[in-house]
Amino acid sequence: MSVLVLVVSGVVYGIGFYLSPQDQLAKVDAIVAISGGDTAARTTEAVKLYQDGWAPILIFSGAALDPNSPSNAAAMAQAAADAGVPVTAILLDEAATDTRANAAGVAKLVKTTVTNP
């Protein structure tokens, strides 16, 4: 019985080690946050990563549910600005209405505006 416990413990530890990140974190060109789910939490985490110096640019992506109101991306950008992020460090994709559009819009922004020094 104790051998089985040791084997199971070893397997569990091994899987945990294998699935955990082993590489050092590296700074990136931009932090991307898309709206949906808990948009406020996504915005807060993106701002925290920005303020911790992980990237010089924040990209927010998401259209408005109501076309007569500000986009989700704009609301996220306002929250970031209110938290002290300079508006010059924020890029917006305000047209994305689903995840595929988020990816396409962010890719276009990155390709046209984000440069790797």
Is 87 within the bounds of a domain?
yes
Nearest to 64 by CA among 75, 54, 52, 56: 75
Do the domain assignments include residue 18? no
Would 10 be classed as within a structural domain?
no
Count of alpha carbons within 13 angstroms of residue 49, beta-carbon side: 21
- Mean pLDDT value across residues 18-30: 80
Closest CA to 87 of 100, 68, 74: 74
Bridge partners (DSSP) of residue 32 are: 59
Q: How confident is the model at residue 79 (pLDDT cuts 50, 70, 90)?
A: very high
DSSP, res 25 = P
In a domain, 67, yes or no: yes
pLDDT at 18 over 80: no
- Cβ–Cβ under 8 Å, residues 61 and 30: no
4 domain residue, yes or no: no
61: in domain: yes
pTM across the whole model: 0.79
| pLDDT for position 115 | 67
Domain region containing 79? 25-113
89 lies in a domain? yes
Domain count, the chain: 1
Q: How many CA atoms lie within 13 A of 89 on its CB side?
A: 20
